[in-house]
Structure 1
Protein backbone atom coordinates (compact mmCIF):
# COMPACT_ATOMS: atom_id res chain seq x y z
CA UNK A 1 0.00 0.00 0.00
CA UNK A 2 1.44 3.36 -1.03
CA UNK A 3 1.06 6.32 1.31
CA UNK A 4 1.71 10.04 0.89
CA UNK A 5 1.81 12.72 3.54
CA UNK A 6 -1.13 15.11 3.76
CA UNK A 7 0.80 18.38 4.01
CA UNK A 8 0.08 19.63 0.46
CA UNK A 9 -3.43 20.70 -0.59
CA UNK A 10 -2.72 19.77 -4.23
CA UNK A 11 -2.46 16.08 -3.22
CA UNK A 12 -5.89 15.95 -1.58
CA UNK A 13 -9.30 15.90 -3.23
CA UNK A 14 -12.82 14.79 -2.33
CA UNK A 15 -13.28 11.05 -2.69
CA UNK A 16 -9.78 10.06 -1.52
CA UNK A 17 -9.36 7.66 1.38
CA UNK A 18 -7.15 9.25 4.03
CA UNK A 19 -5.98 8.82 7.60
CA UNK A 20 -6.63 11.86 9.77
CA UNK A 21 -5.85 12.84 13.33
CA UNK A 22 -8.85 14.32 15.11
CA UNK A 23 -8.33 17.30 17.44
CA UNK A 24 -9.23 15.12 20.44
CA UNK A 25 -6.61 12.54 19.38
CA UNK A 26 -3.68 14.92 18.84
CA UNK A 27 -1.97 13.90 22.10
CA UNK A 28 -2.13 10.18 21.31
CA UNK A 29 -1.77 10.44 17.53
CA UNK A 30 -4.64 7.98 17.01
CA UNK A 31 -5.58 7.86 13.34
CA UNK A 32 -9.09 7.73 11.87
CA UNK A 33 -9.61 6.46 8.31
CA UNK A 34 -12.28 7.88 6.05
CA UNK A 35 -13.20 9.43 2.72
CA UNK A 36 -12.66 13.16 2.11
CA UNK A 37 -15.92 15.10 1.66
CA UNK A 38 -14.44 18.63 1.80
CA UNK A 39 -11.07 20.35 2.12
CA UNK A 40 -11.15 22.97 4.88
CA UNK A 41 -7.60 24.40 4.70
CA UNK A 42 -7.25 27.16 2.11
CA UNK A 43 -3.46 27.49 2.09
CA UNK A 44 -1.44 25.28 -0.29
CA UNK A 45 0.68 23.76 2.53
CA UNK A 46 0.30 23.08 6.24
CA UNK A 47 3.09 21.38 8.23
CA UNK A 48 0.63 19.50 10.48
CA UNK A 49 -1.54 18.31 7.59
CA UNK A 50 -4.38 19.75 5.54
CA UNK A 51 -7.64 19.95 7.49
CA UNK A 52 -10.54 18.02 5.92
CA UNK A 53 -14.09 16.93 6.68
CA UNK A 54 -14.81 13.25 6.09
CA UNK A 55 -18.05 11.92 4.62
CA UNK A 56 -19.16 10.92 8.14
CA UNK A 57 -18.71 14.53 9.37
CA UNK A 58 -15.50 14.09 11.35
CA UNK A 59 -12.89 16.85 10.97
CA UNK A 60 -9.14 16.43 11.30
CA UNK A 61 -5.74 16.91 9.70
CA UNK A 62 -4.56 14.48 7.03
CA UNK A 63 -1.54 12.46 8.13
CA UNK A 64 -1.59 9.97 5.21
CA UNK A 65 -3.23 9.56 1.84
CA UNK A 66 -4.06 5.90 1.24
CA UNK A 67 -3.41 4.42 -2.21
CA UNK A 68 -6.08 2.31 -3.83
CA UNK A 69 -8.78 4.88 -3.22
CA UNK A 70 -9.31 6.02 -6.79
CA UNK A 71 -6.16 8.11 -7.25
CA UNK A 72 -3.30 7.22 -9.56
CA UNK A 73 -1.94 3.80 -8.67
CA UNK A 74 1.65 4.76 -9.60
CA UNK A 75 4.48 5.08 -7.10
CA UNK A 76 4.06 7.88 -4.58
CA UNK A 77 6.88 10.41 -4.51
CA UNK A 78 7.73 12.25 -1.29
CA UNK A 79 8.80 15.89 -1.05
CA UNK A 80 12.47 15.03 -1.67
CA UNK A 81 11.59 13.36 -4.97
CA UNK A 82 12.29 9.83 -3.71
CA UNK A 83 9.82 7.06 -4.37
CA UNK A 84 7.93 5.70 -1.35
CA UNK A 85 8.25 1.93 -1.41
Structure 2
Protein backbone atom coordinates (compact mmCIF):
# COMPACT_ATOMS: atom_id res chain seq x y z
CA UNK A 1 0.00 0.00 0.00
CA UNK A 2 1.17 3.49 -0.71
CA UNK A 3 0.98 6.14 1.97
CA UNK A 4 -1.38 8.63 0.36
CA UNK A 5 -4.52 7.90 2.42
CA UNK A 6 -4.54 8.94 6.08
CA UNK A 7 -7.08 6.28 7.13
CA UNK A 8 -4.66 3.49 6.07
CA UNK A 9 -1.93 4.60 8.52
CA UNK A 10 -2.05 4.43 12.31
CA UNK A 11 0.44 4.73 15.17
CA UNK A 12 2.40 1.52 15.56
CA UNK A 13 2.49 0.73 11.82
CA UNK A 14 5.84 -0.05 10.21
CA UNK A 15 6.41 2.23 7.22
CA UNK A 16 9.02 3.39 4.72
CA UNK A 17 9.29 7.19 4.56
CA UNK A 18 11.26 9.74 2.57
CA UNK A 19 12.94 12.32 4.80
CA UNK A 20 13.09 15.96 3.64
CA UNK A 21 16.86 15.69 3.09
CA UNK A 22 16.35 12.56 0.93
CA UNK A 23 13.63 13.91 -1.38
CA UNK A 24 16.10 14.37 -4.27
CA UNK A 25 17.42 10.81 -4.08
CA UNK A 26 14.21 9.11 -2.91
CA UNK A 27 16.14 7.16 -0.26
CA UNK A 28 13.74 5.39 2.10
CA UNK A 29 13.94 5.19 5.88
CA UNK A 30 12.06 2.43 7.74
CA UNK A 31 10.48 2.97 11.11
CA UNK A 32 7.39 2.77 13.30
CA UNK A 33 4.77 5.55 13.21
CA UNK A 34 4.40 7.60 16.40
CA UNK A 35 2.23 10.51 15.14
CA UNK A 36 0.37 11.45 11.97
CA UNK A 37 1.18 15.06 11.08
CA UNK A 38 -0.93 15.53 7.92
CA UNK A 39 -4.47 16.57 8.82
CA UNK A 40 -6.10 16.07 5.40
CA UNK A 41 -7.54 12.68 4.37
CA UNK A 42 -5.25 12.38 1.33
CA UNK A 43 -1.93 13.78 0.16
CA UNK A 44 -0.42 13.12 -3.28
CA UNK A 45 3.17 12.96 -1.95
CA UNK A 46 2.30 10.78 1.04
CA UNK A 47 1.00 11.39 4.55
CA UNK A 48 3.57 13.14 6.76
CA UNK A 49 4.39 11.20 9.95
CA UNK A 50 6.78 11.29 12.90
CA UNK A 51 8.52 8.01 13.63
CA UNK A 52 9.17 6.72 17.15
CA UNK A 53 12.83 7.79 16.78
CA UNK A 54 11.73 11.38 16.04
CA UNK A 55 12.40 11.48 12.28
CA UNK A 56 9.74 13.16 10.13
CA UNK A 57 8.92 12.32 6.53
CA UNK A 58 6.25 11.31 4.03
CA UNK A 59 5.06 7.69 3.85
CA UNK A 60 5.89 5.90 0.62
CA UNK A 61 5.04 2.31 1.64
CA UNK A 62 3.20 0.67 4.49
CA UNK A 63 5.07 -2.50 5.50
CA UNK A 64 2.82 -5.47 6.29
1:41 aligned residue: 38
1:27-85 superposed Cα distances (whole Å, 9 cap, x missing partner): 00000000000000000000000000000000000000000xxxxxxxxxxxxxxxxxx
Secondary structure in 2 matching 1:10: helix
Computed over aligned residues only, the root mean square deviation of the Cα atoms, in angstroms, reads 0.2
TM-score by length of 2: 1.00
More strand by share: 2
Distance in 2, Cα, partners of 1:13 & 1:40:
11
1:29 aligned residue: 26
Matched, 1:14 2:33: no
Bigger Cα Rg: 1
Size of the aligned set, in residue pairs, is 64
TM-score by length of 1: 0.75
Gaps of at least 5 residues in structure 1 are 68-85
Q: Which has the higher contact order (CA 8 A, sep 6+)?
A: 2
